């Protein structure tokens, strides 16, 4: 409620007790009670919003790279990550003191578990922000001339346009009000829906016909393709927070099933539609393959440009919260806000420089999925679950989770190696010339 004095540390830790922190945040607009009042529908919307983002852009490209049979891999990974979301809920039920992903790591393996979980959380945030910025760069380069000029050979400095867009988004990193950040997240969900509808509209009414054939299977590309697919299912770092915010946490498994089923259905439909339309000519970002003369293409391009700008503050929030907790208690709120904003702005500028240096969306997305998403969404949840709930497990459940850990490790190593090799070869070819 507006006007309620709330300590942000208590809100983030969900501590239902009297606040003993010295510097509560005023006028936050949230209360402890409100933080545990999400309905089933609200929780589903939040989880779907966490899952659907950049990953949908590359689903058609992944199908073209892996062949039609790789769609079954997409669905299988959707089922597997639904299960790992479910077992994270089981870990939270076993130890009610756990409120976050890193807390589950601590409950399983002590300080080393928390450290490992935190490392991959921040690595995922960083690499996701790099991917968002590369996407912003690629799409603004296409959207700007398509919208503002009829000259096909017009010169538009994409790097400068990207820098301007990032500069416009910078103030969002200074936002401390959690409800405002949530509003930005809602904008991201809307943009994702616009992109999906644009592709569907083009398939039905755009008159796109491609005679190119997609093979049944390209086995050699499966490791990198699995990285792209896993990137689209890697929202697990925030699922514990969603669990603790639910009015009835016992429905978390149902929320996971509905949310992942929705995301998997959308990804599958988009993958088949885009791959069938463009065949071998598909771009790693499907929006860049849409016919440039169509109005719906311009809408899709600008929706893709706006998506990263709505995501920056949300992705940065976990880092910002941890940063504020590490600052001295004697520091004033104003100084903390300035410190938070300066650190966030500096980080985003570093990410901008990296994204402009390595602007290869498909390779970076695959590397992120293979190196980080598979760890966050498959390996660690299964390892945590086996350690925390060992006594109450059947032998089959123990064996299955160990197999999932091994499967995730194999997929991660192969995918990371192949994606890194492709990325390095691309850099050598480009900069070598």
Q: Please state the domain extents for the chain.
A: 37-146+155-316+355-432
* Rounded average pLDDT over 403-420: 96
* Rounded average pLDDT over 253-264: 96
Mapped onto helix, strand or coil, the DSSP state of residue 6 is strand
pLDDT band at residue 148 using 50, 70 and 90 as cut-offs: low
Instruction: State residue 414's pLDDT score.
Output: 96
CB 61 within 8 A of CB 286: yes
What stretches of 151-282 show up as alpha helix (H) in DSSP? Answer: 158-169, 178-205, 222-231, 239-245, 252-278
> Could you give the CA distance from residue 357 to residue 345 in angstroms, rounded to a whole number?
18
* pLDDT over 70 at 156, yes or no: no
- Beta-bridge mates of residue 6: 25
Match 């940063």 to its residue by tokens: 323
* pLDDT over 80 at 319, yes or no: no
* Rounded average pLDDT over 312-335: 77
* Rounded average pLDDT over 332-344: 82
pLDDT in tens, 161-202: 888 888 888 887 777 665 556 666 677 778 888 998 999 898
Angle of the 295-326 helix axis to the 178-205 helix axis, nearest 10: 160
Least-confidence region, from 8-22, 29-43, 282-296, 366-380: 8-22
* pLDDT over 80 at 379, yes or no: yes
* pLDDT over 70 at 47, yes or no: yes
> Torsion angle of alpha carbons 287, 293, 299, 303, nearest 10°?
30
Instruction: State residue 188's pLDDT score.
Output: 72
* pLDDT over 80 at 36, yes or no: no
Least-confidence region, from 270-279, 307-316, 393-402: 307-316
Least-confidence region, from 21-30, 48-57, 141-150: 21-30
Instruction: State residue 160's pLDDT score.
Output: 84
What integer best gives the mean pLDDT of the chain?
Answer: 83
Q: Tell me the two tokens of residue 17.
A: 């007790």
* Rounded average pLDDT over 345-367: 90
pLDDT in tens, 383-409: 999 999 998 899 999 999 999 999 999
Between 430 and 393, where is the model more confident? 393
Assess if CATH 1.20.1740.10 describes domain 37-146+155-316+355-432.
yes
Look at residues 38, 35, 28, 36 and name the one whose alpha carbon lies nearest to residue 5.
28
Angle at 429 between CA 426 and CA 431, to 5 degrees: 100
Least-confidence region, from 105-119, 326-340, 407-421: 326-340
Between 163 and 17, where is the model more confident? 163
Q: Which residues contact 206 (CB under 8 A, 6 or more apart)?
A: 277, 290, 291, 294, 296
CB 78 within 8 A of CB 52: no
Instruction: State residue 103's pLDDT score.
Output: 92
CB 420 within 8 A of CB 367: yes
Between 128 and 316, where is the model more confident? 128
What stretches of 358-394 show up as alpha helix (H) in DSSP? Answer: 361-368, 374, 380-388
Angle at 338 between CA 335 and CA 344, to 5 degrees: 140
* pLDDT over 90 at 252, yes or no: yes
pLDDT in tens, 222-246: 999 999 999 999 889 989 988 988 8
Least-confidence region, from 11-20, 142-151, 320-329: 11-20
- Please report, rounded to a whole number, the percentage of residues in the chain having pLDDT higher than 90: 44
Look at residues 372, 310, 293, 348 and name the one whose alpha carbon lies nearest to residue 101.
372
For 241, phi then psi, to 5°, come to -65, -35
> Could you give the CA distance from residue 173 to residue 230 in angstroms, rounded to a whole number?
27
Instruction: State residue 430's pLDDT score.
Output: 79
What is the value of pTM for the model shown? 0.84
> Could you give the CA distance from residue 120 to residue 309 in angstroms, rounded to a whole number?
23
Using CB atoms within 10 A of its CB, is residue 213 exposed (0-12), middle (13-18) or buried (19+)? exposed
Instruction: State residue 1's pLDDT score.
Output: 40
Q: How many CA atoms lie within 13 A of 39 on its CB side?
A: 2
> Could you give the CA distance from residue 308 to residue 313 in angstroms, rounded to a whole number?
10
CB 363 within 8 A of CB 127: no
Instruction: State residue 182's pLDDT score.
Output: 62
Instruction: State residue 176's pLDDT score.
Output: 65
Angle at 180 between CA 43 and CA 255, to 5 degrees: 5
Q: Tell me the two tokens of residue 254.
A: 């149902």
> Could you give the CA distance from residue 84 to residue 320 in angstroms, rounded to a whole number?
27
> Could you give the CA distance from residue 274 to residue 289 in angstroms, rounded to a whole number?
9
Between 106 and 319, where is the model more confident? 106
Look at residues 380, 368, 348, 313 and name the one whose alpha carbon lies nearest to residue 118.
380
CB 273 within 8 A of CB 56: no
CB 372 within 8 A of CB 124: yes
pLDDT band at residue 314 using 50, 70 and 90 as cut-offs: confident
Look at residues 85, 91, 83 and name the one whose alpha carbon lies nearest to residue 388.
91
pLDDT band at residue 151 using 50, 70 and 90 as cut-offs: very low
* Rounded average pLDDT over 73-87: 97
């Amino acid at each position: 409620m507006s006007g309620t004095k709330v300590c942000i540390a208590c809100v983030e830790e969900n501590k239902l007790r009297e606040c003993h922190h010295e510097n509560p945040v005023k006028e936050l607009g949230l209360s402890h009670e409100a933080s545990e009042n999400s309905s089933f529908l609200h929780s589903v919307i939040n989880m779907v919003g966490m899952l659907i983002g950049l990953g949908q852009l590359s689903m058609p490209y992944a199908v073209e790279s892996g062949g039609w049979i790789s769609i079954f891999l997409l669905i299988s990974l959707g089922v597997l990550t639904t299960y790992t979301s479910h077992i994270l809920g089981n870990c939270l039920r076993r130890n009610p003191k756990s409120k976050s992903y890193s807390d589950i790591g601590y409950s399983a393996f002590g300080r080393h578990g928390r450290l490992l979980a935190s490392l991959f959380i921040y690595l995922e945030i960083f690499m996701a922000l790099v991917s968002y910025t590369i996407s912003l760069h690629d799409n603004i380069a296409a959207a700007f001339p398509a919208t503002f000029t009829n000259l096909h050979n017009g010169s538009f400095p994409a790097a400068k346009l990207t820098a301007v867009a990032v500069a416009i988004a910078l103030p969002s990193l200074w936002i401390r009000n959690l409800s405002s950040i949530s509003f930005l997240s809602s904008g991201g969900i809307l943009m994702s829906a616009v992109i999906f509808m644009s592709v569907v509209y083009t398939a039905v009414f755009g008159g796109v016909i491609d005679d190119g054939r997609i093979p049944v299977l390209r086995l050699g590309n499966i490791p990198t393709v699995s990285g792209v697919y896993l990137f689209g299912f890697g929202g697990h770092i925030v699922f514990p927070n969603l669990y603790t915010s639910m009015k009835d946490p016992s429905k978390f498994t149902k929320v996971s099933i509905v949310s992942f089923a929705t995301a998997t259905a959308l990804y599958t439909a988009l993958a088949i539609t885009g791959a069938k339309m463009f065949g071998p000519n598909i771009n790693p970002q499907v929006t860049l393959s849409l016919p440039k003369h169509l109005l719906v293409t311009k809408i899709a391009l600008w929706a893709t440009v706006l998506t990263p700008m709505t995501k920056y503050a949300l992705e940065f929030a976990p880092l910002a919260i941890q940063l504020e907790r590490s600052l001295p208690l004697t520091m004033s709120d104003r100084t903390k806000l300035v410190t938070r904003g300066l650190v966030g702005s500096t980080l985003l500028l570093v990410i901008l420089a990296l994204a402009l240096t390595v602007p290869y969306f498909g390779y970076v997305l695959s590397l992120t999925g293979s190196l980080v998403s598979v760890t966050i969404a498959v390996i660690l949840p299964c390892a945590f679950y086996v350690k925390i709930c060992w006594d109450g497990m059947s032998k089959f459940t123990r064996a299955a989770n160990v197999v999932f850990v091994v499967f995730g490790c194999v997929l991660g190593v192969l995918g990371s190696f192949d994606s890194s090799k492709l990325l390095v070869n691309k850099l050598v070819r480009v900069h070598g010339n």
